[in-house]
Amino acid sequence: MEFDELKAVEAINKSLIEANRTPYDTDEVLNVIDMIWDFYEENGLLDIESNPDEDPDDIEQEVVDYVIRMLRKDKDAKVRPEDVGIMVKAEMAYEDTII
């Protein structure tokens, strides 16, 4: 199964709603997804040679911290820092469904 951005957006917004948070529009969520994948790329996690035994849960907090830093630089972003952890966890959970 392939990564489907719109299904990832749905999964993230569903997790936000379940956590009694307000969901974001598609563009805001896609911006966060892009930041997550930028983190993967910058840290060599998309390389074929990357360690398949590496547990992505071990890097979850690093991803959250990275996304929060990037959102602070993006003056147009509307995502609240307190929602990033929920969003990252939901995106990683979605990734697990397509492996």
Q: Range of 40's domain?
A: 5-98
Counting DSSP H helices and E strands in the chain, the numbers are 4, 0
pTM: 0.89
Q: How many domains does the chain have?
A: 1
Q: Which two tokens stand for residue 7?
A: 């299904």
CA atoms of 24 and 71, how far apart (whole Å): 14
The tens-digit pLDDT sequence of the chain (99 residues) is 899 999 999 999 999 999 999 999 999 999 999 999 999 999 998 876 555 555 555 899 999 999 999 999 999 999 999 999 999 999 999 999 987
- Residue 46, pLDDT score: 82
- Residue 94, pLDDT score: 96
